[in-house]
Structure 1
């Protein structure tokens, strides 16, 4: 029976390492985006600010507007400080969610990948909260409105990365599974299954494009919101 290769296996003697396709896709995307950002940065440096933006400079401006739309309302005056971090991850996650359209495994369909991103944002929230007000003040904030609620508030804080991880993982993986089942069904009822291609564009439009965009927006809206609570000044 033919099996689809879904992982890269590396063996040196007794050492065995298996790298899932989803992680390989993410690593390739990291290289591609690193090259793109360096190239785009040089183009932006050479651009004439007195003229209308074109080409890659215009694309980068639109990407910036997209990122600001997601995080600026939450981070407010601290937006510029965290813009590189959120901007890079928003763009890369968006592409990761959409890459299933070309037949590759979505990195975000891997729960360990999602957990890594969510835990990173969680520690960023906690560390910045402690740096801003001090450890004592952070513990005090978790004890409000009553000290007896401290354990429940701690559980609530820990639930954030868990909920972010499982929400993204569940939605992206479900889309992958449903798409796979539809194509398997089409293959099993050939030649009539070819009629399914009439509906598959709508299937991909919802499960890959719409769901991918929405889940990226939700993930980083939540992350920037809770980070903004720790680093932004209170609104007047």
Structure 2
């Protein structure tokens, strides 16, 4: 097995398997979140409803309310149906966005990872749109308000996964690069660099914590908005 800073290459005879560090981090995060969710479920079952929640039960309720806040306005009456998958993905993304604090590559800095999530939204939107009204009605939507705008409507549909992918990738990767440049600058001006290390908590507070939370919110808000156009009842 050969390793470097960005990937792990497992060699078995003539077969080589290349695993990006970001993908391994995501798998570990999913396993940890799954275990914590299972443990929280056990504790919630045993919790006394007459007492105020605390510990893991309290934080589980806060995360539940946070996920509801992000998607409920878009998915409306279908929120309960989609909450398990989007809630899980949001928590996993929030946790993974904090992995930069411990020196690991953030999964959302991998464009392939972001494209996979964006493609999931795109396929869900198109599938539900066809299921809801039929293929003929869905195709007709692309010709509204006039058939001359059909190419623009198609481009608009295809732009969604590209926009979601590049927005998340660009913002997260930019934060990583800026942090690296600042660290390089601090190292190059040693011994004053030791004084500069006092600034690093603030750097990570913005690029790893604040920016990670904001980008997760934007990604799922936009994705569920377009999904809600197909699955939720629209107000007149």
TM-score under structure 2 length normalisation: 0.95
- Hey, what does 1:130 align to over in structure 2? 130
- Hey, what does 2:71 align to over in structure 1? 71
Over the residues paired in the alignment, what is the CA RMSD in angstroms? Answer: 1.3
Deviating more after overlay: 3-12 vs 91-100:
3-12
The number of residue pairs the alignment matches comes to 234
Cα distance between partner residues in 1 of 2:209 and 2:37: 24
User: Secondary structure at the residue paired with 1:19?
Assistant: strand
Cα distance between partner residues in 1 of 2:188 and 2:129: 55
- Hey, what does 1:51 align to over in structure 2? 51
- Hey, what does 1:115 align to over in structure 2? 115
Question: Runs in 1 of length 4+ with deviation above 3 angstroms?
Answer: none
- Hey, what does 1:21 align to over in structure 2? 21
Cα distance between partner residues in 2 of 1:111 and 1:157: 20
User: Secondary structure at the residue paired with 1:199?
Assistant: helix
Gaps of 5+ in 2: none
User: Secondary structure at the residue paired with 2:44?
Assistant: helix
Cα distance between partner residues in 2 of 1:132 and 1:46: 40
- 1:96 is displaced (CA, Å) by 1.4
Gaps of 5+ in 1: none
Cα distance between partner residues in 1 of 2:159 and 2:29: 29
Cα distance between partner residues in 2 of 1:56 and 1:211: 25
What does the per-residue CA deviation read over 1:114-145, in whole Å, with 9 as the maximum and x for residues that have no partner? 00000011101111111111111111111110
- 1:47 is displaced (CA, Å) by 1.6
User: Secondary structure at the residue paired with 1:174?
Assistant: helix
- Give the 3 Å change call, closer, same or farther, for CA 207–20 of structure 1 in structure 2: same
User: Secondary structure at the residue paired with 2:11?
Assistant: strand
TM-score under structure 1 length normalisation: 0.95
What does the per-residue CA deviation read over 1:41-92, in whole Å, with 9 as the maximum and x for residues that have no partner? 1111222222221211111110011001100000011100000011001111
- Give the 3 Å change call, closer, same or farther, for CA 58–92 of structure 1 in structure 2: same
- 1:231 is displaced (CA, Å) by 0.3
User: Secondary structure at the residue paired with 2:173?
Assistant: helix
Deviating more after overlay: 187-196 vs 72-81:
187-196
Cα distance between partner residues in 1 of 2:189 and 2:16: 40
- Hey, what does 1:95 align to over in structure 2? 95
User: Secondary structure at the residue paired with 1:145?
Assistant: coil
